Amino acid sequence: MHAYTNMVFILIIIVNVLIGIIQEIHGKNLVKKLSILTTAKTKVIRDGKEEEINIDEIVLDDVILLQQGDQIPSDSYILEGEIEVNESLLTGESDTILKQKNSKLLSGSYVISGKCYAKIEKVGDDNFANQIINATKKHKQVNSELLNSMKKVTNFTSFVIIPVGVILFVQAYMFRANDLQQSVVATAAALLGMLPKGFVLLTSIALESGVIKLAKKKVLVQDLYSVETLAHVDTLCLDKTGTITEGKMKVIDIEKYNEELLPDTIENIMNSYVKVTDDSNATFIALKNYFKGEAKYEKLSDISFSSERKWSSVTFKDIGTIIVGAPEKLIIKANIELPKIILDAQKDGKRVLCIAYTKEHLKSDELPNLTIISSIVLADPLRKNAKEMLGYFKTQAVDIKIISGDNPVTVSTIAKMAGLQEYESYIDLSTLKSDDEIIDIVDKYSIFARVLPHQKSIIVKALQAKGHQVAMTGDGVNDVIALREADLSITLPEANDAAKQVSQIVMLNEDFSVLKDVLMEGRRVVNNLTSVARIFFIKTIYSILVSIFCILTNTAFPFIPIQITLIDLAIEAYTSFFISFEPNGKPVQGIFLHTVLRNAIPFALVITLNIIVLTFLAPVLGIAQNSLVTIMYLLIGFVSILAVLEVCIPFNKLHIFLFSTTFLGFFIAVYLFRNLLHIANINKYELMLFIVFAIISTIVLTIKQRIYKKSGFAQ
């Protein structure tokens, strides 16, 4: 239509796109650098030597070494050894499956216990896991209130735009006999105002800036919208070992009880035990660091440790079977009470293992009668800043739940040392008759002890059923299912590959205090976007309402695209962009779309009523059409700036600067570019009319603000 000046909004869109691309590239490069540090690796046997490679370097017929905590990188079969695997990521079932020689292993499952050598059968898209992905093309749905809200708005406006656009154009071109250019330009202006186009870009930039800030603090965000999820978290589930504590066990004491039953010393037998066992969790690493002697005895068979059993065993030739595990599991089979030294150690927050003995050759999970021959006390230091962080989350209305497979007294003591006020609020889940009881007690306790791996996810889902937004931290294979179920999953630096791959946020810094920055970034993004979104949605709402009014009265939409573009740039984008980066750590209140619409609708209604009243008054007052449009346009700018004022309260130096420059910038731009904007000069009488309507609008919106404040509406 040759209306070139009305296409300035295209230039603004191009600038926005360029800003978005630069921001995306910057964020992607930072994330890529961090991702290299977390790239999954596997151990492969090549030329008779063991080496560590990235999983994408695996080729057919490679022989890989799999141990506890490893995720199986490719479909394969066992050449030697025995492991227990969990295939829940593929099947949804959390049952542990025993895999022996020649058993098939599926990529995506992970090793619960044991050790084996496996030969690669398939790579790339031929893998079972990739076939599922390629066949279904489904992924976990993004749980983003911002994204869902924008979808609702764009779906609604998309539904409205076509019929409204057609009717406005037909009325202008056919019923009012406007020329083609006038009809197109007027219609385009109405439709252009309905789209909160700048807010989509602002949302992306705000989320990406959160990713970039966290990346600089060595926090890898693997899902963009998880930054938003952070803001809504009200419950944080922490795994004790490796999260509150460092997960670096150390043997500090060993007690002997019935050593005379053994043909050799406990030390010599345990030297052999740690050399032949395939167990590799933090506890057994501590045992291996303590018992460093030579292996003197031949292994006949073994049963690897699992969190379900809570014990492992090795049967030696000419000796019998040595069992190492949780005191509560082994004491039952020994028919004795827990020794006082074990109880005292647990009260001090120490982990205790029992060593038991039987002459029988143990071949199944069923334990025979045992004799306790020793207890080993291990210590695990608190993670740096753990106490400070638990106290901080308490002040931020985030409820802490500690989940552990350890003894309840031990966990309670560790929680007390970490500063958890509710350290006495604990329960031993092994005392429950059924997992169904968990949903009834999940809100009553802060500490859950003797938790089985599958119960972690039950706790998370029970909390969600109670209306909580749950974040889960973990580092082991036993945390994977719960991490996947949580609204937000966080893994720590020492986490294994399986845990890291299912988590949305991977911390690469051992400093526990970075969780504070994670929470604050989420709140900053959501709170600031909620605050400034009203400025964008005002135009969307009044554009729809004024368009409907124009259709009902068969009048032209009063504005042109270039005028809408100035409001986009000088009022909406300018202030919102800077405020979106401000620190804002307040707990999130209200539902995003409800809050935004409630804050935007009064301004949109005031603008719409001003336009309607002036439309009917103009003939009575003798106001020319050009002057009428100018008064209406100035009122739109003024009322929109009142929304900016509301966003800028409470004032600080930045807010004063933004509000002042927005106010002066808009009216100066209108004056300087009045010809480009097709704005007419108005006389004193018309200026007074504008001032009267501006004062009335201010009074109405001030009353609205007081009503909202009394009602406690989120602003």
Q: Which residues are catalytic?
A: 239
Rg (CA), the chain: 33
- Helical H runs in 327-385? 327-334, 340-347
Provide the token pair at 366: 């069923």
Is 27:208 a contact under the CB 8 Å cutoff?
yes
Is 497:108 a contact under the CB 8 Å cutoff?
no
| Continuous segment of H or E residues that includes residue 106 | none
| Continuous segment of H or E residues that includes residue 203 | helix 197-216
Q: How far is CA 489 from CA 409, 454, 498, 570, 638, in A?
A: 27, 16, 12, 40, 45
Closest CA to 563 of 463, 694, 644, 678: 678
Give 71's DSSP letter. B
What CA dihedral angle connects 119, 125, 127 and 133, to 10 degrees?
160
Distance CA 129, CA 695 (A): 65
Distance CA 550, CA 564 (A): 17
Provide the token pair at 224: 């963009």
Q: β-pairing, 351-358 with 110-120?
A: unpaired
Give 245's DSSP letter. B
Closest CA to 646 of 693, 711, 596, 586: 596
Q: Tell me how crowded residue 568 is: count the other CB atoms within 10 A of its CB.
A: 25
Residues in the chain: 715
DSSP string for residues in 606-640: HHHHHHHHHHHHHHHHT--HHHHHHHHHHHHHHHH
